[in-house]
Amino acid sequence: MEDPKLVSERILENINRVIIGKEYEIQLALIALLCRGHLLIEDVPGVGKTMLARALATSVGCQLSRIQFTPDLLPTDVTGVSIYRQESGGFEFRAGPIMAEVVLADEVNRATPKTQSALLEAMEEDQVTIDGITHPLPKPFMVMATQNPIEYEGTFPLPEAQLDRFLLRIHLGYPAATEEVLIMDAQEKQHPIEKLTAVSNKDEVVALQASVSETYVDPLIKQYIVDLVSSTREHESAYLGASPRGSLALMRSSQAFAMLSGRDFVQPDDIKLLAYPTLGHRIIASPSARVREIDSAQIVDEAIERVPVPGARARGSI
């Protein structure tokens, strides 16, 4: 296979033709895909959440399925349903939109908890079970969910168990003034997404996913991750700290980031850079901390300050 760094750069460059000025967030989206993880995009309307999903799926040659989550959406509308066929005298499975390589769960917090839970098995085990029959999902498989953090009326907040299933959470944010002008210039006659073509394919993505696990993680780096996650649990402002799944997510995403950077080892700076995207949504600030306007970002930042960085024995730290 071609050098993973070169393949990744080609994909990132292609997505940057559509999403302007969000290089770091685009890189995180690709990291989630390469780690076989899922991405939660939390931001206000109109900043490009849906377009990021379309651009990523198109760039890697994957099928995109979009599910608009609403209060009346049923679990079978997501996973699929078995229908009785009178001609054959048996049941036929009709796959739902979850049976795609990249699934965009738009405004996921607008659906009821029962429908939200239909995603859990798919996100955790890459399969769905309908009427006792297990149906495997395609490879690669990724859920990109969006939610609006401002509009709470008519929404059902995602439970902690489901938030924990997302490898990363990102915020796109508003573009800078100069970038917003560039966006208008790019879309003056035609949206760039209409001309976007694939620069990779599913087999290449699966090979990249396998390459991620080959990136070396020194034992001291692993201990650093554990100490950092433990610090979020013991923080005086935390009601709930990051789970062991958070430790695994931080290690795996750091491996992918190192690979994208052209390295075959993880260094402490990778951990610091990815700490908030991987741990922030797994941490709940205590009620008293919220009164003092302390959020998960501050808890993660203080955990990074408190935990000493591994010594020179960790590869890449000297």
pLDDT at 152: 62
Give me the mean pLDDT over the 75-89 stretch.
85
Distance CA 12, CA 35 (A): 16
Cβ-based neighbours of 207, under 8 Å, separated by 6 or more: 1
pLDDT at 94: 87
Residue 46: pLDDT band (50, 70, 90) is: confident
Q: For 262, which DSSP code?
A: T
Global pTM value: 0.90
The answer on pLDDT for 312 being more than 50 is no
Distance CA 68, CA 229 (A): 34
Give me the mean pLDDT over the 137-162 stretch.
84
Half-sphere CA count of 255, side-chain side, radius 13 A: 23
More confident residue, 1 or 78: 78
Task: Kindly tell me the sign of the dihedral angle through the C-alpha atoms of 291, 295, 301, 305.
Answer: positive
Give me the mean pLDDT over the 19-38 stretch.
95
The answer on pLDDT for 40 being more than 70 is yes
Report the chain's mean pLDDT, rounded to a whole number.
90
What residue ranges of the chain are covered by domains with CATH 3.40.50.300? 4-187+199-208
- May I ask the CATH architecture of the domain 214-306? Orthogonal Bundle (1.10)
Closest CA to 201 of 57, 309, 35: 57
Residue 151: pLDDT band (50, 70, 90) is: low
The answer on pLDDT for 318 being more than 60 is no
Burial (CB < 10 A; 0-12, 13-18, 19+), residue 303, is buried
Q: For 27, which DSSP code?
A: H
pLDDT at 158: 86
pLDDT at 316: 46
The answer on pLDDT for 317 being more than 60 is no
Which residue carries 């994957």 as its tokens?
62
Residue 1: pLDDT band (50, 70, 90) is: low
What residue ranges of the chain are covered by domains with CATH 1.10.8.80? 214-306
Task: Kindly tell me the sign of the dihedral angle through the C-alpha atoms of 225, 124, 69, 67.
Answer: positive
- May I ask the CATH architecture of the domain 4-187+199-208? 3-Layer(aba) Sandwich (3.40)
pLDDT at 315: 46
The answer on pLDDT for 146 being more than 50 is yes
User: What is the SS3 assignment for 65?
Assistant: strand
Q: Which of 9-18, 154-163, 307-316 has the highest mean pLDDT?
A: 9-18
The answer on pLDDT for 313 being more than 60 is no
pLDDT at 154: 67
